[in-house]
Amino acid sequence: MSETNTHFRNVNENPCNMCMPMGGILALKGIEKTMVIIHGSQGCSTYMRRHISEHFNEPVDVASSSLNEKGTVYGGEENLKKGLDNLRKVYHPDFIGILTTCLAETIGEDIERIAQEYVRERDLSQDLVVAVPTPGYGGTHTEGYFLTIRRIVAKLAKKTQKHSRINVIIPNISPADIRELKRILSLMDIGYILLPDVSDTLDAPYSRLYHKIPEGGTPLAHIRAMSGAVATVELGITVDDSLSAGKYLEEEYGVPLYRLPLPMGIENTDLFLRTLGEITGKGVPRGLELERGRLLDCMIDSHKYNFQGRCAVFGETELVYAISTTCLENGIFPAVIATGSRNERLGALLAKSLQEGGSNYVLLNDTDFAHIREQCKIMKVNLAIGSSEGRYLTEREGIPLVRVGFPVHDQVGGQRILSLGYQGTMAFLDRITNTLLDNKHQNYRSSLYRKYFVG
C-alpha cells in the first residue's frame, strides 16, 4: 500500500473538491425556513448556486453581499447589513446563515460581531443569525459542511428537558438517501432529529404554489432540542473532532455520541441498526430483515462479476469510506482511493481491510484529477465511482463511471441516486455490477477473437 500526500504540489489540475462556503450552503439548505447570505464578491455565490442547482435540478437562492472595491477597502460591514435587510424583505426567513468567502476573510471581516450587532440594532432575536467563517482557502466543502452544522448546533441548542429522540447527524448525501434513512428510522419506530435534512428542500415536489424558500428541512425547534436527546448518531467517522457537532453535544450537554460510517454495505448497515437497537432497546423489524436477505441474495448473484472490478473511488471522505468498504465486501478492489480533503482518519480506517484485500492500493489525500487519472492507469483500474467530475476518466481513459455523490451535473437525477441501507446498497451494487457486465459484453467477442482466432 502507499499513501501519497500531495498537498505540497504547486498546481491543482482539475479539482476533486470545492471550497468551504459551498459546504456551508449545503448544510444550511437543510434547515427549515432558512436563507443564506455569502459575504464576499458576487461571483462566489452565483457559481455555487449554479453548481448546486445543476445537481439537484432545483432553484437554489443564495444571497451575496456583493462586495465591491469600496467595500473591500473600507470594510464590508454596511454591505452585509444592507444585504441582510434586503434578504429579510424578500424571503422572510426564520433563520439566516452568514458564510464568508476568501475575500471577506482576507480583509479580516469579523462576521460574528457584525451579526450580533445587526440583530441588536434591528431588535431581532439573537437566534436568527448564525455566522460561520468559511474561507475558500481554509479547507474543502466537506470541512465547510461539518463546521457549519457544528456552528448551527452551538448557536441553537439550549439546555432542555431530556426526551426520547435520538440525534442523527449526516454528511452530504442525496435526498433519496436521506429519505431512506428516515424510512429505516420509522420502520424501527424511533423518534429522531435528523440534521441537516435537504430531502424536501433540495428535492421539492412540484406544487402549484411556489415557495421562495422550499418547505421542509430540520425544524429549528428540533435543533434546539438536540441537547436533550438520548444519544447522537453521527454518520461521520472520518470527521475531525473539532468539526463534529456530535462531539459538541457530548461535551456541552453530555449527550452520548456514537460515530458511525454511512450505512452502506452489509456491515455498515448492520452496525447502524445494531447501534440504534443498543440505544433504544428496539429490535430490527421483520421488513428490514427481509431487505437484508434480499441484499445478500443480490450480493451472491453478482459476486463473480464483481470480482473483476478494480475501482477508483473519489469524493467526500465519508462517502469514499462507505463506498470503499462496500466494494471490499463484494470483492471489488478499490485500487485508487482519493479525496480532495486533507484527511488523516480515512487512510487509517481503511488500512486493515485494504491490506486484507491482498492487493496494492493508493490512497490520495488533497488530490486532483490529474493525479487520480495517472494512478488509475498505473493501478489498472476498470471502474470509477464518484461524482460527475470523474467523467474525464471515461472520456480520456475509457474507464466507465458510476455516478454517486456531489456533484452529478452532467446527468439528471443527482438528487434521486439511492445508495444507503440494504435497499440502497442493492441499487448501488446493481449499478456497479451492470457497468462491469456492460464492459464485458462490449468487448468479449472482439477480445476473444483477437486472442484466439487472430492469435
**Three-state DSSP class for residue 167:** strand
**54 scored as a contact of another protein (CB under 8 A):** yes
What amino acid is encoded at 79 in this protein? N
Among 16, 35, 87, 102, binds ligand SF4 (CB under 6 A): 102
Which three three-digit cell numbers place residue 5? 500526500
Pick the piece of the chain touching ligand SF4 (CB under 6 A) from 28-36, 39-47, 203-211, 216-224: 39-47
Query: Segment near ligand SF4 (CB under 6 A), from 40-48, 151-159, 267-275, 337-345?
Result: 40-48
- Whose CA is closest to 307, among 324, 287, 328? 328
Output phi, psi for 63, to 5 deg: -85, 165
| Residue whose CB is less far from another protein, 108 or 281 | 108
Of 306, 286, 249, give the one whose Cα is nearest residue 428: 306
Sequence-distant (6+) residues with CB within 8 A of 31 are: 95, 97, 152, 195, 196, 217, 218, 220, 223
| For ligand SF4, the closer CB: 133 or 217 | 133
Helix axes 286-306, 175-187, angle to 10 degrees: 140
Residue 152 contact, options ligand SF4, another protein, none, Cβ 5-8 Å cut-off depending on partner type: none
Residues sharing a CB contact under 8 Å with residue 283, sequence separation 6 or more, in sequence order: 277
| 249, interface contact from another protein, ligand SF4, none, CB < 5-8 Å by kind | none
76 to 115, contacts with another protein by CB under 8 A?
79-80, 82-87, 89-91, 101-103, 106-107
Residue 387: name its binding partner from another protein, ligand SF4, none (Cβ under 5 to 8 Å by kind): none
For residue 211, CA distances in Å to 53, 58, 92, 198, 207 come to 16, 12, 11, 15, 9
204 binds, among another protein, ligand SF4, none (CB under 5 to 8 A by kind): another protein
- Residues 207-246 as x/- pattern, contact with another protein by CB under 8 A: -x-x-x----------------------------------
Distance in Å, CB of 49 to ligand SF4, minimum: 11
Angstrom distance (rounded) from CA 232 to CA 194: 10
Question: Which residues are paired to 333 by β-bridges?
Answer: 310
Is residue 376 near another protein by the rule CB under 8 A? no
Q: Build a one-symbol-per-residue string for 279-308: x at contacts with another protein by CB under 8 A, - elsewhere.
A: ------------------------------
Per CB under 6 A, the list member of 21, 93, 144, 407 interacting with ligand SF4 is 21
Neighbours of 148 (CB within 10 A): 29
Residues that bind ligand SF4 (CB under 6 A): 19, 21, 40, 44, 47, 101-102, 136
